[in-house]
Amino acid sequence: MENYFSSDFKLGVLGGGQLGRMLLAETQKFDVHTCILDSSKDAPCAPYCNEFFIGNLLDYNDVYRFGKKVDVLTIEIEHVNIQALYKLEEEGVKVYPQPSVIETIQHKGKQKDFYKEKNIPTSPHQRFDSLAELKAANLTEFPFVWKSAQFGYDGMGVKIVRSVDDINNLPDTECITEDLIPFKNELAVIVARNADGKVKTYPVVEMEFHPEANQVEYVICPARISDEVAAKARRVAMDVANAFKHVGLLAVEMFQTENDDIIINEVAPRTHNSGHYSIEASHTSQFEQHLRTILNLPLGNTDSKLAGIMVNLVGAEGYEGNVVYENITDILKIDGVTPHIYGKKITKPFRKMGHVTIVNKDINIARKTAELVKNTVKVISK
């Protein structure tokens, strides 16, 4: 096994956002040398990595040149140049998750086709190359879900279409439509899989969404569901990771239908918002686990030590500019509350600026505390 610790080994990360920043806490713990590529000199990772490079993640040359400097290359965002990753892989750089996996996942049409091909339960869908093609289909079954095929995130690029008028107002882009499935709960499972094919799943989490921004407000672990449904969700998530032969961390978002079936919504081939609770609540955080998977180290314990709830800190509406975290000292007085600030200096409405984890032996007490935290901290500007 290669010596990763206090050595000449270099780990490269495409993307310098908050996910990379939280990963760096783990690379520092293990003294793994890190190189980050991001387009902004003010990226959250910039002060904390060993080497920081400015470049465009979607530019072939920028990604290729960066990849040649490192021994293992990973991502903290899936919107990256795939052709460069294939070339690097061909030339002996270990790229995890693999370019073939990222290519399928970063395109929602290919992702949905993959589930159908592998008999993984998901909602029925159709693919369209343009708005004109979607209009020509004369769809009459409303409502349905519209998703941009690429570059959607945090509720961007997703709309519920309720009428022909709604179709006329959609962006002109390659897209998919999905049947709108009635569901009881929106769930997620983080799956860790290393190059040896060893797989572990984290407990099922339940997500509560902001009604307007379509962003997660609370991530609740464990999900308040039956043991049978939880076991089914973990099994389906593991099936997805094995079908991809994915190396790394895979966040599997799913719906619990009214009949208690589990169907896949979509996946992210990286650490994920739905796993942030694990930093305080789990034996092994998702960020340490990601490091273990891509370096093919033994996987850590995925069990929770306590119930955990994560609250997103997002920019308040009506504020844009230099960020101020109002009342943050008030929540620091509460037992089991830990804020994480992402280092973004400028706030905008609904921009993810940080999160707060609440841990407690009792999930109900944790949930009440989470609401108190949500109503106390305000992310505003000067």
Residue pLDDT, tens place only, 154-200: 667 899 999 989 999 899 999 999 999 899 999 999 999 999 999 99
What's the pLDDT at 361? 97
Instruction: Enter the tokens of residue 223.
Output: 């999900």
What's the pLDDT at 152? 76
- Contact predicate 148/171, CB 8 Å: yes
**Could you tell me the pTM of the whole model?**
0.95
Instruction: Flag whether 266 is marked binding.
Output: yes
What's the pLDDT at 105? 96
Instruction: Flag whether 186 is marked binding.
Output: yes
Checking if the pLDDT of 269 tops 90, the result is yes
Residue pLDDT, tens place only, 137-159: 988 889 999 999 998 766 678 99
Residue ranges of domains in the chain, CATH in brackets: 10-95 (3.40.50.20), 124-179 (3.30.1490.20), 183-381 (3.30.470.20)
Instruction: Kindly write down the DSSP assignment for every residue of 266-293, as one continuous string.
Output: EEESS--GGGTTHHHHBSS-HHHHHHHH
Instruction: Flag whether 180 is marked binding.
Output: yes
Mean pLDDT in residue range 34-55 = 97
Checking if the pLDDT of 370 tops 70, the result is yes
What's the pLDDT at 209? 82
User: At 382, is the pLDDT very low, low, confident or very high (cuts 50, 70, 90)?
Assistant: confident
Report the candidate in 370, 363, 359, 365 with the shortest Cα–Cα distance to residue 331: 370
What's the pLDDT at 1? 63
| Backbone phi, psi, residue 37, to 5° | -115, 125
Residue pLDDT, tens place only, 299-337: 999 999 999 999 999 999 999 999 999 999 999 999 999
Residue pLDDT, tens place only, 92-120: 999 999 999 999 999 999 999 999 999 99
Residue pLDDT, tens place only, 119-140: 999 999 999 999 999 999 988 8
Instruction: Flag whether 264 is marked binding.
Output: no
Mean pLDDT in residue range 216-221 = 92
Average pLDDT, the chain: 95
What are the angstrom distances between the C-alpha of 265 and each of 47, 84, 122, 181, 377?
35, 28, 6, 10, 31
Burial of 356 (0-12, 13-18, 19+ CB in 10 A): buried
